[in-house]
Amino acid sequence: MKGPSFNDEEVKDGPGLRLKGNLSGQGLRIAVVAARFNLFVTSKLVEGACEAILSHGVEEKDLAVSWVPGSFEVPLVALEMAKTKKWDALVCLGAVIRGETAHFDHVGGEVARGIATVSRETGVPLTFGILTTYTEEQAIERAGGKLGNWGYYAALAALESANLLRLLRNMEE
């Protein structure tokens, strides 16, 4: 399958211990950090993320959405939220759409690096729901259009990652 898969039947059994997080949000606290720039896209990503989070058992009181001006600001706010240790995972959402300048090239790479760095340095899973598209139409297709909602998928990845880390951290030697 092209794109994200959260279907356990597609994972083949084999030798050795197989570890995988589940999609249960029960007992998890999840935060979303979303960019307001290209709000016509990012608002749909946030809707999808919140739908996924709440429909998988996270209580509304355990969900927070922080809005930042643009995608470039997402890693800094995610870092501050992760450092509080109040959140089991963070979903990072934004839309960087190519324009007539090199802005797209600079922002997309830096945001990806920043999100990955925050996750590694804090041990809190951050998922990458920053769309980097060539056109507005491509962004809309990925924000609830014919290609699904990548905010929803990023939230599912956050739930699975948080549960896998919980499993790993609670394993006995």
pLDDT tens, residue order, the chain (173 aa) = 466 667 666 667 778 888 999 999 999 999 999 999 999 999 999 999 999 999 999 999 999 999 999 999 999 999 999 999 999 999 999 999 998 887 888 899 999 999 999 999 999 999 999 999 999 999 999 999 999 999 999 999 999 999 999 999 998 65
**What is the predicted pLDDT for the residue at 1?**
44
Q: For this structure, is 106 an active site residue?
A: no
Domains and CATH numbers, the chain: 29-169 (3.40.50.960)
CB atoms closer than 10 angstroms to residue 170 = 7
Q: Which of 20, 83, 103, 106 is catalytic?
A: 103
Global pTM? 0.93
Dihedral of alpha carbons 28, 29, 35, 38, sign: positive
DSSP, residue by residue, 109-141: HHHHHHHHHHHHHH---EEEEEEEESSHHHHHH
Res 12: pLDDT: 72
DSSP 3-state of 67: strand
The Cα–Cα gap between 163 and 173 comes to: 19
* pLDDT, position 13: 74
Q: Are 106 and 114 in contact (CB under 8 A)?
A: no
Measured over the CA atoms of residue 163, residue 26, residue 36 and residue 38, the dihedral's sign is positive
Residue 3 has a pLDDT of 64
Distances (CA, A) of 156 to 22, 24, 138: 9, 9, 21
The pLDDT value recorded for residue 101 is 80
